[in-house]
Structure 1
Amino acid sequence: MMAGVRHAQVGSLPGTDFAAAARFALAETPDPSHLPELPARGAPAQLVGRATALAPGLAFDLQPAGWRLTGGALGVGDSADARRARALLRDDLDRFEEAAQGFVGPVTVSAAGPLTLAANVELPRGDKVLADPGARRDLGQALTEGLRGLVDELRGRLPDIEWSLQLDEPQAGAVLAGSVPTASGYDRHRPLPAPQAAQEYAELARALAGVPLGLHSCAAEFPWELSADLDSVSLDGERLGTRDRDEIARWLESGRELRLGVVPTTTPGRVPGVDEVIGRTLSVLRPLELGEAAVQNLVLTPACGLAGWSAADAHRVLRTLRDATEPVAEQLTR
Structure 2
Amino acid sequence: MAWATGVGSMPGEDHAAYAEAVRVVLGELPDLPHVPELPGRGAPAGMTGRALAVVDGLGADLQPAGWRLTDSPGVDHRRARSLLAQDLDQVEEQAQDRTGAFKLQVAGPWTLAATVEKPRGDKVLSDRGARRDLAQALAEGVGQHVRDVRRRLSGVDRIVVQVDEPALPAVLSGSVPTASGFHRHRSVDRPEASDTLAWVLDAVTAADAEPWVHCCAAGAPLDLLRGAGARGLSVDLALTTAAGHDVLAEAVEAGETVALGVVPSTEPAATPSDKDVVEGVLRWLDMLGLDPGEVAGRLVVTPTCGLAGSSPRWVRPALALARDAAARLG
> Does the TM-score normalized on the shorter chain lie above 0.5?
yes
Task: Please tell me whether the aligned partners of residues 22 and 36 of structure 1 are also in contact (alpha carbons under 8 angstroms).
Answer: yes
SS at match of 1:34: coil
Q: After superposition, what is the alpha-carbon deviation per residue over 1:282-323, rounded to whole angstroms, capped at 9, x for unaligned?
A: 232221121034313001100111112233311111111222
Judging by fraction of residues, say which structure has more helix.
2
Which has the higher mean CA deviation after the structures are superposed, 250-259 or 288-297? 288-297
3-state secondary structure, aligned to 2:163: strand
Alignment correspondent of 2:23: 23
Measured after TM superposition, the shift of residue 269 of structure 1 is: 7.3
What TM-score does the superposition give when structure 1 sets the normalisation length? 0.92
Indicate conservation of the 8 Å contact 2:265/2:318, yes or no: no
Residues 136 and 199 in structure 2, CA contact (< 8 A), matched pair in contact too: no
Among candidates 140, 143, 154, match of residue 145 of structure 1: 140
Residues 180-199 of structure 1 correspond to what in structure 2 (within 5 A)?
A: 180-199=176-195
Distance 2:44 2:268 in 1: 23
Structure 1 residue 266 displacement after superposition: 5.0
From the superposition, tell whether residues 158 and 266 of structure 1 become closer, same or farther in structure 2 (CA, over 3 Å). Answer: closer
| 1:166 counterpart SS class | strand
C-alpha contact (below 8 Å) 2:162/2:214 kept by paired residues: yes
CA offset at residue 167 of structure 1?
0.5
Q: Which range moved further: 223-232 or 48-57?
A: 223-232
Q: Of 167, 175, 179, which aligns to 2:175?
A: 179
- How large is the RMSD of aligned CA atoms in angstroms? 1.6
Deviation of the 1:270 alpha carbon: 6.1
- Residue of structure 2 in register with 1:219 after alignment: 217
Question: Which of residues 142, 146, 159 is equivalent to 2:154?
Answer: 159
Q: Distance in 2 between matches of 1:150 and 1:254?
A: 28
Q: Deviations over 1:35-94 (max 9, x none)?
A: 110111111101001111111221111122211112x13xxxx32221211110111111
Once the 2 structures are TM-superposed, how far is the Cα of residue 223 of structure 1 from its aligned partner?
2.1
- Is 2:94 aligned against 1:107? no
Match status 1:10 vs 2:7: yes
Distance (Å, rounded) in 2 between the aligned partners of 1:92 and 1:138: 27
Q: Pick from 191, 196, 201 the counterpart of residue 197 of structure 2.
A: 201
Q: Contact conserved, 1:253 with 1:293, CA < 8 A, in 2? A: no
- Size of the aligned set, in residue pairs, is 321
Give secondary structure in 2 for the equivalent of 1:165. Answer: strand
In structure 1, the partner of 2:87 is 92
Shift in Å at residue 13 of structure 1?
Answer: 1.4
Change in Cα spacing, 1:57 to 1:203, as seen in structure 2 (3 Å) is closer
| Runs of 4+ with >6 A deviation | none
Task: State how far apart, in whole Å, the 1-side matches of 2:269 and 2:139 are.
Answer: 36
Secondary structure in structure 1 of the residue aligned to 2:151: helix
Unaligned 5+ segments in structure 1 are 330-334
Q: Give the distance between the partners of 2:85 and 2:249, measured in 1 at CA.
A: 40
Q: Is the 8 A contact 1:252 1:293 kept in 2?
A: no
Partner of 2:311: 310
Q: Kindly tell me: are residues 270 and 159 of structure 1, through their superposed partners in 2, closer, same or farther at Cα, counting changes over 3 Å? A: farther
Which runs of structure 2 are paired with 1:43-58 in the superposition (5 Å)?
A: 43-58=43-58
User: Sequence identity, in percent?
Assistant: 46
Distance (whole Å) between structure 2 residues aligned to residue 174 and residue 211 of structure 1: 28
Gapped regions of structure 2 (runs ≥ 5): none
- The match for 1:332 is none
Match in the other structure for 1:322:
323
Partner residue in 2 for 1:289: 289
